[in-house]
């Protein structure tokens, strides 16, 4: 794995105002990094302890996030070799997650989905 991939993963952070469980936020952050090409199929992720320190959460929370991504088929756990990226997520899944994130953020500011749809329509 190249040094840039390790650095970009290590700089992942979580949104303190996000109400979702931390393991979901951690999984989303790693999923986004994979989707963005910051880590590629075949690259190994840093150890869970290092990711936990970087995200300022418990290592068990990171392990739960990694297991979730393994169940999605994005990661592979290899004894003695760590966690390896298998593939990038489906772009539609990634876009839908971004949409959910946008709607959640808009909701925190008092805007409903109808307003967000109007904003999107106005951007055409």
Separation between Cα atoms, residue 34 and residue 39, nearest integer Å: 5
> pLDDT grade, residue 9 (50/70/90)?
low
Q: Name the helix (H) or strand (E) containing 85.
A: strand 82-85
pLDDT of 93 higher than 80: no
User: For the residues 28-55, what does the mean pLDDT come to?
Assistant: 90
pLDDT band at residue 20, thresholds of 50, 70 and 90?
confident
For residue 26, the model assigns a pLDDT of 94
Q: Look up residue 103 and give its two tokens.
A: 């709607």
Angle between helices 113-122 and 91-108 (to 10 degrees): 120
Tens of pLDDT, residues 49-92: 999 998 999 999 999 999 999 999 999 999 888 999 999 988 88
CA 19 – CA 33 distance, rounded (Å): 21
pTM score of the predicted model: 0.69
What are the domain boundaries of the chain?
A: 3-88, 90-124
Just give the CATH number of 3-88.
1.10.10.10
């Amino acid at each position: 794995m190249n040094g840039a991939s390790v650095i970009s993963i290590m700089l992942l952070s979580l949104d303190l105002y996000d109400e979702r469980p931390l393991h979901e936020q951690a999984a989303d952050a790693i999923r986004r990094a994979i989707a963005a090409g910051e880590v590629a199929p075949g690259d190994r992720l840093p150890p869970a302890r290092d990711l936990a320190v970087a995200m300022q959460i418990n290592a068990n929370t990171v392990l739960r996030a990694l297991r979730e991504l393994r169940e999605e088929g994005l990661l592979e756990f290899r004894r003695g070799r760590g966690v390896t990226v298998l593939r990038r997520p489906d772009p539609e899944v990634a876009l839908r997650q971004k949409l959910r994130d946008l709607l959640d953020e808009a909701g925190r500011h008092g805007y409903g989905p109808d307003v967000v749809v109007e904003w999107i329509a106005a951007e055409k």
